[in-house]
Structure 1
Amino acid sequence: MNEESNSKGIAMDLLQHFEDILESDPLIDELGFIHPSQFDLLNEESGISCNSFDEANCQSTDKILSEQSSKQENVYFWNKDHKLGISTHILLPLYKDAKHSFLTALKRYKTCSNQSNKDGDCLPASSSCDLESLLMRHSRSLLLLSCDFMTAWNSRKLVVSKKKQHSMFLNELILSGLVLSYSPKSEQAWNHRRWVIKSISAISSNLKDILEKESELVEKIAERSKMNYRAWNHRCWLISYMTREQVIDELKKSRSWAELHVADNCCFHYRSQLMLKIMKDSSCLVETVSFSHMVDIDKAWKDELDWNGTLIKRYVGREALWLYRRFISSCWINHFLTDSGDASHHFKESITNYHDFGTFLKKELCLIDYCSTVVDNEFGDFEAQAMHSASYLLWLKVKVPKPLENELLEKMRVIELKTLVEKSYPERSSLFNYFMS
């Protein structure tokens, strides 16, 4: 019984020390869980000996549980340069005590709030603040140990929504960012960030700095966690709060990242949402914007086609690039070559005169012809490139409006389409006649 009480006491001391570290260094931006054997290496790389290490950052003890009777000293917390490491040795007892402390604080807070609603004031203002502070302190500790604990997230929303202080909203972004440093696909953390940004937008119309930092955060996380749908979905959600200038700036900034990650379809999906945002805003304002502005939009679409074509030639066989080209071509055809109820007659007449559909088809067929040549059979990328180019050509045949289909068929005679399809899609060559009929 004494050993059990001693273990609980040690766990409480660890929680107290863990929370003190978080309070003493509010700029911590990265959290990790480290095996005890790695702490000596961390100290060595940092030029720190465990004997001289600050007690606030380095903890030594004989044991946590009764089974652990080793006399070897163990380090449980490591904090330097705003990076925090927690020993995997203590996660279970630390989590249990954090959960117990949080639930106790939440129960007291709700009891006080319910009583206040009935009788007026339950406790003096200072005591009420102490309960809120305690609840926020323990919920933070619990979420850093278990990021999917919904009750803890909701309790923080409850307190922050009552205060509606800008600084508290920013602290929530810091906390969720710290959670994402070790769990980049945490749905709860991303949801919490969206709730915070939505709440800030209700009290402030200036979100420029926050949106920029959010985009930078997503790119930083995407570097460590490939194909992170949740992160890119969050970035797409941010577009609804962006001005036209911010959207254009995001297009420019994300281009260099996309060039280095051509296999990451999430980034190209993000760019497609930015392009659609530009088109949507321009369609809504078509009566008030000038023709030169519309031509600028058209040029942006053409530039995107040229840039995508360059990447397709440079990075052979990347399906994400061909899928993105379908999107660009589809929007180009739908918005600039066909009737649209969102555009005025003046806009449609001017844009239609500005476009040369023959030139568009010629460029597309030249790209397909270039990519359909298999220059090296030893590498499957060239065969994949030919397959994607044939697939794109068949898609283009279906997508082009009927009045313009004859022009496409005339251009397609330059390419031996049947040979290309049979070579790239032997199992689907029977579909050729169907597409060409």
Structure 2
Amino acid sequence: MIEESSSPGSASSGAFPFSSTMASVECKRGLDLLAQLEQILEEDDLIDELGFVHPTQLAELNANSGFGLLDLSNEAQSADRAMREGTDGRSILYDETVFWNRDHKLAISTTELPLLVVAAKKLFFDSYKKYKFSKNPEHDLQDDVLRHSKSFLLICSDNGTAWNSRKLVISRNLCLSLVMDELRLSALILSYSPKSENSWSHRRWTIKQFHRACGDFSDVVAKESELVKRIEERTKMNYRAWNHHSWFVSYMTWRQNEFDWNHRLIQCYIGREALWVHRRFLSQFWLNHLSSDPHSIPDVADFLQKELELIISFLSSPEDEFDANRTQGQLAASYFFWVLKVLKYSFPNGPLVKPWRNLSGLGLFMELLESSSPRRILLWRSFLGRQSWDELFNSLD
């Protein structure tokens, strides 16, 4: 009986060395693949797009690039490796069944992600621990943290510790090159994960550091606007992108305002509240600029008239099957009353205490409100204030 019961135990115990061996092999492969990934990132530091693809898609990418797997019968290629020319002409050694890199684009096979995650996490936390607890960290320790945290974040973009490690390094060694690297890294992550909250947050922190280091950064604001616009047009309901966009409006010059672009999006994507909320931020920025100039009254009146004409155009849209035009009209009217209220506080003592005095089209505006959204009139009246509401519409009697 004892011998029989010990037999399964001995078989089970014999499996442990095998499992340990397999784990060791996987760990070695993960570290090897991570080294290849980090080499690619170092050799091609202008990568602007990243994707995680199925192995069959990776094979198609290699085929379309004019590359094919080399003869694996050759011992030098027994590990499925191939020499590939980097974008800048330098050779990069990597496993073409796992990676594809060309024209500043990078693709990674989804089948190897678990191994990469384990390896990247280990190397990052080991390097960060050494750097964090070193009284006088050497330059090599700093480089290790930046290199390993970058590869880790590319496959685990919302790891807050990795982002914070980069903040620590940059705070201790604030320079333009490091700041620009951070902008490129967050943009790369946002290319495949546009709703990554930590990436957007880190990007705002980086822009603040750039402002501290350089002062004038109008070019960065312009490029930031282009980046966010591309993301917003691709993911229209991306709250994090719109929140970021509204944040950096305050860094714009008044000449960089985006009313026309916002208008085009509103016309294309009917009933999207995020677009109207963003227009409020743009209007607030514009009115703050005008309120600082005592000679800007005609500009304010012209702005208000154009906004009213825009609102009327949306309220006049015919009803549709999904009620999207009605929603658009309600959002437009709410925006207009918000602008009127802001004007009251922007010019509390000037001739624009009653900014609607010379507006054309108020009668039509009220008729459209009564026909499209009669139940919301009391809400808008309460928001604007009874006295202001009466001054706005009683003059029409």
Q: TM-score, normalised by structure 2?
A: 0.80
How far has the Cα of 1:166 moved from its partner?
0.8
* Structure 2 partner of 1:86: 108
Instruction: Tell me what 2:390 maps to.
Output: 405
Q: Is the 8 A contact 1:179 1:189 kept in 2?
A: yes
Partner of 1:125: none
For residue 33 of structure 1, give the secondary structure of its aligned residue in structure 2.
strand
Partner of 1:197: 207
Q: Distance in 2 between matches of 1:406 and 1:77?
A: 67
Matched with 1:102 is 124
Cα 1:131–1:329 change in 2 (3 A) is same
Task: Using the TM superposition, give the Cα deviation of residue 210 of structure 1 relative to its aligned residue in structure 2, in angstroms.
Answer: 1.2
Deviation at 1:197, TM superposition (A): 0.8
2:149 corresponding residue in structure 1? 139
Over residues 51-101 of structure 1, what are the superposed CA-to-partner deviations in whole Å (9 max), with x where a residue is unaligned? 4974447625xxxxxxxxxxxxxx111112222111111111111011111
1:242-264: per-residue Cα shift (whole Å, max 9, x none)?
22222xx3223332233222332
1:184 is paired with a residue whose SS is: coil
1:50 aligned counterpart, secondary structure? coil
In 2 relative to 1, CA 84–57 (structure 1 residues): closer, same or farther, beyond 3 Å? farther
Whole-Å separation in 1 of the counterparts to 2:246 and 2:34:
38
- Per the alignment, residue 95 of structure 2 pairs with 59
Task: Give structure 2 stretches of 5+ with no counterpart.
Answer: 1-19, 72-81, 85-91
Deviation of 1:315 after TM superposition, in Å, equals: 7.2
Letter in 2 for 1:343: F
Q: Aligned match of 1:241 in 242, 246, 251?
A: 251
Q: For 1:104 and 1:300, how far apart are their aligned partners in 2?
A: 58
| 2:357 alignment counterpart | 355
1:260-409 alignment, distance < 5 Å: 260-283=268-291, 285=292, 288-290=293-295, 293-314=296-317, 316=319, 317-318=324-325, 319-332=327-340, 335=343, 340=345, 343=347, 345=349, 347-348=350-351, 352=354, 355-356=357-358, 359-368=360-369, 372=371, 386=372, 389-398=373-382, 399=384, 401-402=386-387, 405=390, 408=393
SS at match of 2:30: helix
Cα separation, 2, equivalents of 1:9 and 1:334 = 62
For residues 250 and 182 of structure 1, do their structure 2 counterparts lie closer, same or farther at Cα, with a shift above 3 Å needed?
A: same
The offset of 1:273, in angstroms, is: 0.8
- Among 173, 198, 206, which residue is 1:188 paired with? 198
1:175 aligns with 2:185: yes
Give the secondary structure class of the aligned counterpart of 1:85: strand
SS across alignment from 2:133: helix
Q: How many residues end up aligned between the 2 structures?
A: 355
Task: Tell me if structure 2 keeps the 8 A contact 1:57–1:78.
Answer: no
* Alignment-derived partner of residue 87 in structure 2: none
Superposed CA deviations along residues 206-230 of structure 1, whole A, max 9, x for unmatched, are 1211111112111211223231111
Distance 1:254 1:212, change over 3 A: farther
How far did residue 46 of structure 1 move?
3.9
Alignment deviations for residues 116-169 of structure 1 (CA, whole Å, 9 cap, x no partner): 3xxxxx7xxxxx111111110000000001011111111111111111111110
Instruction: Give me the whole-angstrom Cα distance separating, in 2, the residues matched to 1:242 and 1:206.
Output: 11
Q: 1:311 to 1:5 in 2, by over 3 A?
A: same
Q: Does 1:206 align with 2:213?
A: no
Query: 2:32 corresponds to which letter in structure 1?
Result: D
SS of equivalent residue, structure 1 residue 233: helix
Q: Which residue of the partner structure matches residue 38 of structure 1? A: 57
What is the distance in 2 between the residues matched to 1:30 and 1:274?
30
Counterpart pick for 1:9 among 28, 44, 47: 28
RMSD: 2.8
Map of 1:376 onto structure 2: none
Identity %: 34
Give me the TM-score of the superposition, normalised by structure 1.
0.74
